[in-house]
Amino acid sequence: MRETDARERLDALWARGTAFLGTEVAIMGGAMSWVSERHLVSAISNAGGFGVIACGSMNPALLDAEIAATKALTTKPFGVNLITMHPQLDDLIGVCLAHGVGHVVLAGGLPPGPAIRRVKDGGAKLVCFTPALSLGKKLVRSGADALVIEGSEAGGHIGPVSLTVLAQEILPHLRDVPVFVAGGIGRGETILSYLELGASGVQLGTRFVCASESIAHARFKQAFIRAAARDALPTVQIDPRFPVIPVRALVNQGTDRFMAHQAEVVRRFTSGELTKDAAQLDIEHFWAGALRRAVIDGDVEQGSVMAGQSVGLVTREQPTAEIIAELVGQAVAAIAARNQTARAAAPAAAD
């Protein structure tokens, strides 16, 4: 199969995703706090993918400025990721709608009904995350225009199930809307495999951290380049009475301190020094500001270096366009090689 034919096959496989996003390739940028801002988001969109601003804890004024700055850097489509637990969620949605943002991603929990209606009534397309088939179907009934399924291989806050299992559970049975897959994806051949399972596209975060356009600190990028997949581990909960939401990040001194901090807080609770609520709050506040310290300030020893297991596939700093071209090239080469093997085998089968 010629390369042009192989590319046409790839384009056909993710046609539903590209049509939904309005892009050349169905590759979404993962919304990474402090990383997925105007420079990286516009670079992904300009390279044919779909950049997504990570609103995180921004207030409406900051988000307004970030969207405006991104629009100044690209005329291509991009989206905004909003956390459902944000106390100003309705105002943030209003900012997105006022700017004509075409896609709003609601993440971090089950989207409240009023937020869903606000996005839909405002004319934007709604993207939601689902960790299970039953919830995915419910979100579609509620108005989600597309879904993302993210496996535990991903960086940052994660669920308990791997993408390989989620894909088998969800993709064959949820065809009503485009479904994008995320978690541990770092090569084009893997993208191809999920498209053939029924995905409409993919979402990548870790792979873009070391993009030239990423504002992540040089030490943060070097930590990614040096790391192996086994270095990106989820945080550990030491006492079931005090739940810890798992966060996958590179193990460092901060990780060790967090374990010791949990143990000390549990000791203080057991001795009566702290109430249960105060102890839980103390544990949850440990990482406050830690991601910014790592990404922006370059403190990769005490900060939180959130990374997915695909970090082992990040080997150098590259322009965003080169990363996307590399992923597409790998997928196209895999299609061409497979068809060449099939043609070679055909005469033997005939004999």
**pLDDT digits over 36-50, tens only?**
999 999 999 999 999
Q: To 10 degrees, the CA torsion angle through 88, 91, 95, 100? A: 120
Torsion angle of the four alpha carbons 190, 195, 197, 203, in this order, in degrees rounded to the nearest 10: 70
pLDDT of residue 167: 98
Tokens linked to 61: 């004024």
Tell me the sheet residues that pair with 204: 29
Report whether 175 contacts 198 (CB < 8 A).
Answer: yes
Angle, helices 320-350 vs 188-197, to 10°: value is: 60
pLDDT band at 349 (very low <50, low <70, confident <90, very high): low
Going from N- to C-terminal start, the domains of the chain cover 3-216+314-337, 229-306
Across the range 305-309, mean pLDDT stands at 97
Separation between Cα atoms, residue 255 and residue 308, nearest integer Å: 16
3 confidence band (pLDDT: 50, 70, 90) = confident
Q: What is the pLDDT of residue 319?
A: 98
Q: What is the pLDDT of residue 1?
A: 59
Task: For residues 201 and 18, give the distance between their C-alpha atoms in angstroms, rounded to a whole number.
Answer: 8
Reported as a pLDDT band with limits 50, 70 and 90, residue 234 is very high
Q: What's the pLDDT score for residue 95?
A: 98
Q: Is 347's pLDDT higher than 70?
A: no
CATH class of 3-216+314-337: alpha beta
Q: What is the share, in percent, of the chain residues with pLDDT greater than 90?
A: 93
Tell me the whole-structure pTM to 2 decimals. 0.94
Q: Average of pLDDT values for 233-247?
A: 93
Neighbours of 270 (CB within 10 A): 12
Mean model confidence pLDDT for the chain: 95
Are 139 and 146 in contact by the 8 Å Cβ rule? The answer is no
As given in the structure block, the two tokens for residue 96 are 């997105």
Give the closest residue to 122 by CA, choosing from 147, 90, 146, 77. 90
- Kindly report, residue by residue over 147-198, the tens digit of the pLDDT: 999 999 999 999 999 999 999 999 999 999 999 999 999 999 999 999 999 9
What pLDDT, on the 0 to 100 scale, is given for residue 344?
74
